[in-house]
Amino acid sequence: MRRRQEVQPEVAGEAAAQAAVTVAPANPDLQAAAFFDVDNTMMRGASIYHFARGLATRGLFTTSDLFKFAVGQAVFRLRGNENPDHIAVARETALAFVAGAKVDDVVRLGEEIYDEVMADRIWGGTRALAQRHLDAGQRVWLVTATPVELARVIAQRLGLTGALGTVAETSDGVYTGRLVGDLLHGPAKAEAVRALARREGLDLARCTAYSDSANDLPLLSLVGRPVAINPDSELREHSKKHDWPIRDFRTGRKATMTALPIAAGLGAVAGGVAAGIALRRHYRGRP
């Protein structure tokens, strides 16, 4: 029986913090900052899924492939849990497929696909919250399980300070097929923010974090001002119990969102598998 690789949130967190590129605001408040989850917090649906969808429109893989991953994410969302073994298998599969892809190509495709597919899916209310922090001179980072290259594209397009994301190992501008640490998910997000706070001299008691998912409770509990955005049922209950602010920018009931490919860990990796397949086929010259 294959032994599941031990999760290393500290390594993933340190790697994410080191990979973060920062842009200083005007009239900076150097000790305060804001951290935003991406999937279903800043953006409707999973960013990596939308990236895979953009690759599908370019003919890099079939719509039936995309459908399979979407169904997998929907099942995950309805079950409301994450099986570590399933996450590990999906992660390893995605990395095997993406091995050999050029980082510059991924960034270029990410910029194109953001403009085509993702820009219209940004929650206006969440974007306005981020802008308030920027206007107050605070730096704003995205914190997401999405690959850091794609997370940076989103941050740049939104005019934010930078992004913390999952770091894939590269050599000479090419992905090796291995991660540095593990997915930036759950406790690893909190470790990344701790590492960034040490590097940037942030006072976490003066910082704010936003998320839709109970999976991000380690991050939300780390800062002085946690805020639930479009929360799942567990996070909503927790927020009410602890008097955390709740903001919901969704129209209609939660059922409307259930059909969308939203996820933090397994769903994001499932989309990564789809993207990996597409890139692998591209480099092999397959139609």
Catalytic annotation, residues: 37, 39
Closest CA to 143 of 226, 56, 82, 243: 226
36 forms beta bridges with: 142, 210
Token pair in block for residue 12? 């993933």
143 forms beta bridges with: 164
Token pair in block for residue 282? 């591209």
179 forms beta bridges with: 168
**Three-state secondary structure of the chain:** CCCCCCCCHHHHHHHHHHHCCCCCCCCCCCCCEEEECCECCCECCCHHHHHHHHHHHCCCCCHHHHHHHHHHHHHHHHHCCCCHHHHHHHHHHHHHHHCCCEHHHHHHHHHHHHHHHHHHHECHHHHHHHHHHHHCCCEEEEEEEEEHHHHHHHHHHHCCCEEEEECEEEECCEEEEEECCCCCCCHHHHHHHHHHHHHHCCCHHHCEEEECCHHHHHHHCCCCEEEEECCCHHHHHHHHHCCCCEECCCCCCHHHHHCCCCCCCHHHHHHHHHHHHHHHHHHHCCC
d(CA 230, CA 247) in angstroms, rounded, equals 6
d(CA 137, CA 152) in angstroms, rounded, equals 20
